[in-house]
Structure 1
């Protein structure tokens, strides 16, 4: 219902009146998205931190979840000041300075968090690809991602002259940049770095000598990065609406919602690398491993390769998948003992009992052994 004592943030369109009591509200989907994607990123980060501290014991602090939590807190508070409502249903006293100030803070947190997330994934690439040319390519993308993220933070802080004009609409002097256009350009650079992060390791991944399962794991990370790029494209569509519509509090809802999805998916993708060693340690059966070996051990495996073995009629062929090794040891002048022996003679069998020939005989010992292999490489 309209209240003549309250000034709306924007005059209502023709045929509509301001409703400050029970207005149209688009907050439900925004709250649902934050309730799903922030815990998803939080759980992934907990797994990653636990794995680094107690499993692989190689902790590196390159996570951006704290910024994501701060962004969620700021945007949820924006709901109290008009986010999700039409501007004609928002009191002017709510829009400025509170909503506008929180909007600037949210933009700063988003730019910083996405920059940290992309750099974290790129630094992970440096740990698994040793190629110098690859490192040059990755550091180039890191420079671009970190550079435009820092520039975006500064642009949001200094978007107006004086700075307070960005949230205080009562200041009539000075000027401000076109924020929707800036957001649009920033999103374009973000999409470029998202897909560059996915594409750059592909040529080296094909040449990398690692087990297929590890390649699949890296491929999943790349697929997650590609999905994040798609989400960025969807967010770009919402920013286009922001360019065209003056209804700031309403159209900003979808833009911030996709920012939340993009950021938390990026954090989740960066934490995928810790899932495999975590499962190997605590849920080995999911990977088909024995449950008693703990991290760094697996079910003993036997490999079969013939090592110049001599075929025997009374023993199976060791090359038929029985996973045993067969080796030969040739000695001269050996005496008989309890081991199994084969006498190789180049003379007729009738001469075997001849002592002169017997001195020239070779005794060949066939040694059979099993090899157990325990892989302990941390993933």
Structure 2
């Protein structure tokens, strides 16, 4: 009992030092992390804003607002709070080389940066789950048959199970939770809990993205629409694959979380994990909100010719951006 108390006191002392550190000048790679994050999230905000505008102002007498829109907006909302913690992390060394850190202070800067990274990752994960739900529901609006609907809903079940397992591991691996970034504050039952959920979460999220990107390719083959529309929809839905690719690249830097085994250039390598996370999250939000914006390009789609050589007409009118989406979300299962 006495050892636990003294350990906690040491942890409190370390925490006080970590939170009294002066900021590290933002330059080089650290500044690039900030710039990319601000730019990508600003673009995501514009795209989501246009989506809301289309749904509210351009849908006419039909009710276009659906659950995919709700999840898309909910998925966008956490982006800016996550930017706050990302900015704090960069100010205290995220992306910095060891040579930029004052002598003997690296362990304390690691603790402070890792705390901000924890908050950032939690918010990002919530955003990513909501965005993928929005994408899944949007795909189901393609009048999915039973086979493809089962695939998409099964995909979402896997996503939900993964989120639950990751949260459980995150919150039970160390007690109290702040021991995740400052182990002296308590003790950890799962020494590498953060690394385990990072790998597991990235792999499952990539699998979900690829499933949501590939499934529509097979669904669209049987739908009667001009080829130009099909290609455009497939390209937009495939943007999620680029996000998942960013998540897979991130796997190459997770080893740096183990500062005992890899003590050098930890803050710099952590910067890459966050940068690729930003790409994954930002591209996910953008990809799920682009299809409704097809309403701005009606002339382009209505003047396109299908495989039969006939022009598409207003009979396939659309309030969801692309003419294949019905006015109301279709959550039911179609025929085989």
Alignment of 1:235-254 (within 5 A): 235-242=250-257, 245-246=262-263, 247-254=265-272
Where relative contact order (Cα < 8 A, 6+ residues apart) is larger, the structure is 2
Selected match of 2:291 from 270, 273, 279? 273
Selected match of 1:105 from 119, 123, 144? 119
In structure 1, how many angstroms separate the alpha carbons of the residues matched to 2:199 and 2:279? 17
Q: Are 2:229 and 2:301, in contact at CA under 8 Å, matched by a contact in 1?
A: no
In structure 2, how many angstroms separate the alpha carbons of the residues matched to 1:161 and 1:95? 19
Q: Which residue number in structure 2 is paired with residue 156 of structure 1?
A: 170
In structure 1, how many angstroms separate the alpha carbons of the residues matched to 2:271 and 2:141? 38
Q: Are 2:25 and 2:91, in contact at CA under 8 Å, matched by a contact in 1?
A: no
* TM-score (normalizing by structure 2): 0.73
In structure 2, how many angstroms separate the alpha carbons of the residues matched to 1:151 and 1:52? 35
Selected match of 1:233 from 235, 248, 254? 248
Gaps of 5+ in 2: 1-15, 304-309, 323-336
In structure 1, how many angstroms separate the alpha carbons of the residues matched to 2:234 and 2:211? 15
Q: Which residue number in structure 2 is paired with residue 355 of structure 1?
A: none
Q: Which residue number in structure 1 is paired with residue 150 of structure 2?
A: 136
Selected match of 2:82 from 71, 86, 105? 71
Answering whether residue 26 of structure 2 is matched by residue 85 of structure 1, we say no
Cα distance per residue 1:327-379 (max 9 Å; x no partner) = xxxxxxxxxxxxxxxxxxxxxxxxxxxxxxxxxxxxxxxxxxxxxx7554333
Q: CA deviation at 1:126?
A: 0.8
Aligned residues: 278
Q: Which residue number in structure 2 is paired with residue 28 of structure 1?
A: 31
Gaps of 5+ in 1: 1-6, 10-18, 290-297, 299-320, 322-372
In the superposition, relative to structure 1, how do residues 199 and 73 fare at CA in structure 2: closer, same or farther (>3 Å)? same
Secondary structure of 1:201's partner? helix
Q: CA deviation at 1:272?
A: 1.2
In structure 2, how many angstroms separate the alpha carbons of the residues matched to 1:288 and 1:139? 30
Q: Are 2:136 and 2:212, in contact at CA under 8 Å, matched by a contact in 1?
A: yes
Larger Rg: 1
Q: CA deviation at 1:254?
A: 0.7
- Cα RMSD of the aligned pairs, angstroms, is 3.1
Q: Are 1:224 and 1:269, in contact at CA under 8 Å, matched by a contact in 2?
A: yes
In structure 2, how many angstroms separate the alpha carbons of the residues matched to 1:125 and 1:20? 45
Q: Which residue number in structure 2 is paired with residue 205 of structure 1?
A: 220
Cα distance per residue 1:23-65 (max 9 Å; x no partner) = 9863121012112211111111011110011112422311211
Secondary structure of 1:200's partner? helix
In the superposition, relative to structure 1, how do residues 176 and 106 fare at CA in structure 2: closer, same or farther (>3 Å)? farther
Q: Which residue number in structure 2 is paired with residue 369 of structure 1?
A: none
* TM-score (normalizing by structure 1): 0.65
Cα distance per residue 1:193-248 (max 9 Å; x no partner) = 22122222322221122333331232112321222222222222232454563343
Selected match of 2:135 from 110, 114, 121? 121
Cα distance per residue 1:88-129 (max 9 Å; x no partner) = 716355444x43322221221122111111111011011112
Cα distance per residue 1:309-328 (max 9 Å; x no partner) = xxxxxxxxxxxx9xxxxxxx
Q: Are 1:160 and 1:174, in contact at CA under 8 Å, matched by a contact in 2?
A: yes
In structure 1, how many angstroms separate the alpha carbons of the residues matched to 2:44 and 2:176? 37
In structure 2, how many angstroms separate the alpha carbons of the residues matched to 1:102 and 1:136? 38
Q: Which residue number in structure 1 is paired with residue 65 of structure 2?
A: 59
Selected match of 1:40 from 36, 39, 43? 43
Higher strand share: 1
Q: Are 1:47 and 1:275, in contact at CA under 8 Å, matched by a contact in 2?
A: yes
In structure 1, how many angstroms separate the alpha carbons of the residues matched to 2:301 and 2:289? 22
Q: Are 1:108 and 1:152, in contact at CA under 8 Å, matched by a contact in 2?
A: no
